[in-house]
Amino acid sequence: MLELNDVGVRFGSTVAVADVTLTVPEGEVLAVLGPSGCGKSTLLRAIAGLEELATGTVALDGTDLAGVPTHRRGFALMFQDGQLFRHLDVAGNIRYPLSLRRPNPDRRPNPDRARRAAPSAVTERVEELLETVGLPGYGSREVSTLSGGEQQRVALARALAAEPRLLLLDEPLSALDRSLRERLAGDLRGILTQTGTTALLVTHDHDEAFTLADRMALMFDGRIVQHGPTQEVWTRPATRQVAEFIGFSTFLTGDPARRVLAATEARTPRQAGTGGSSADAGRSTVDGDGSTLALRRSALRVDPAGSLEGTVVSAGAISDAVRVELDLDGVGVVEALADQHATLRAGDRCRVRAHAVGMARLGP
């Protein structure tokens, strides 16, 4: 288990990281999510022992790592550009950490490890890792002949080869195009789970964090402002700043919020016939106490059966849907989604259905 306690890093008078207290239980993946410049990479480097701590401690399995140099921490790092060795083929890259591995005097002899030192065992291990990352038979390929996604898979295999006690990932998929990023994120998640790897990921991409991590920590200006299980942060952002960063795009208060909630309740089958109590509860959440209803685009869908009505302001295709800006009657301008094949133009009237999934209440 990785434990960060009150970690702070300064560069002269710049406070890059302040008061960071987080834990990553063994076998889990934590994503630190935040905008560029918020201190994510500095935190990652501090954990790796590449930046000096101004305050606090970094401990692994109860041992304070102060004074333990980077190469003795047993961590592996993976960056967005993979940083593969160009002069080695794929197998050579993956073999590299295996050849660096020194016998650890603290460990009892491990026959399995000893066997791995034999050349045939190393070859076997390389092939096993290539299979794990979905590139069987790629060992003799030159790095320059690989696509960006394949290079990142090799970088992952190389990171896993050292059987790290902790894998540190710095925006591992950011350099890839969107569709590849989505596919590789799912694969990476599967590989980390399958290998039981404890990992800390830093990223500015909320989808990447959501797909990869068990837990999520939101970082702004060097500080963690919310952390918890990914699903919890995703559905219950603590502040508007967090909500905006994880993809909520519409924020409503007062009557507009009540109108959308009423439409949501009427359309949720499970709540039909409950005498309106859910609607009342929903209303009270945004009534007078200054709280806000936050909506993801997916919470509002253009649908002829919807009970809300509005006028299209603009519409544009995104990967598998149409993103619509709508002026909803009695609500105001909101973001919504329409079916991929919808033909909507500015000025068109349409109906909208509100879905509870994709809505969150923000406190005052």
Q: Which of 2, 4, 7, 16 binds ligand ADP (CB under 6 A)?
A: 16
E runs forming strands in 38-128:
55-60, 63-64, 75-78
> Which range of residues in 31-39, 136-144, 156-164, 184-192 is near ligand ADP by CB under 6 A?
31-39
Of the candidates 274, 256, 271, 261, which has an alpha carbon nearest to the alpha carbon of residue 334? 256
User: How near is the Cβ of 268 to ligand ADP at its closest, in Å?
Assistant: 39
Q: Which of 20, 29, 39, 297 binds ligand ADP (CB under 6 A)?
A: 39
User: How near is the Cβ of 216 to ligand ADP at its closest, in Å?
Assistant: 15
CB 329 within 8 Å of CB 349: no
Helix, strand, or coil here: 46?
A: helix
HSE at residue 76, side-chain half, CA atoms within 13 A, is 25
User: How near is the Cβ of 171 to ligand ADP at its closest, in Å?
Assistant: 8
User: How near is the Cβ of 287 to ligand ADP at its closest, in Å?
Assistant: 38
Q: Which of 6, 25, 37, 66 binds ligand ADP (CB under 6 A)?
A: 37
In terms of CB distance, is 122 or 200 closer to ligand ADP?
200
Size of the residue set binding ligand ADP (CB under 6 A) = 11
CB 210 within 8 Å of CB 234: yes
Helix, strand, or coil here: 107?
A: coil
Helix, strand, or coil here: 187?
A: helix
Does residue number 319 form part of the binding site for ligand ADP (CB under 6 A)?
no
> Which range of residues in 21-29, 33-41, 64-72, 282-290 is near ligand ADP by CB under 6 A?
33-41
Does residue number 363 form part of the binding site for ligand ADP (CB under 6 A)?
no
Structure-block tokens of residue 143: 């790095």
Q: Which of 29, 38, 48, 94 binds ligand ADP (CB under 6 A)?
A: 38
In terms of CB distance, is 174 or 278 closer to ligand ADP?
174
Please state whether beta strands 300-302 and 349-354 pair in parallel, antiparallel, or not at all (unpaired).
Answer: antiparallel
CB 161 within 8 Å of CB 125: yes
> Using CB under 6 A as the criterion, what x/- string covers residues 41-80 for binding ligand ADP?
xx--------------------------------------
User: How near is the Cβ of 174 to ligand ADP at its closest, in Å?
Assistant: 11
Of the candidates 304, 343, 348, which has an alpha carbon nearest to the alpha carbon of residue 326? 348
* Angle, in degrees to the nearest 10, between helices 119-132 and 178-195: 130
User: How near is the Cβ of 30 to ligand ADP at its closest, in Å?
Assistant: 15
Instruction: Measure the CA angle with vertex 186, ends 185 and 191; round to 5°.
Output: 95
Give the binding site for ligand ADP (CB under 6 A): 11, 14, 16, 34, 36-42
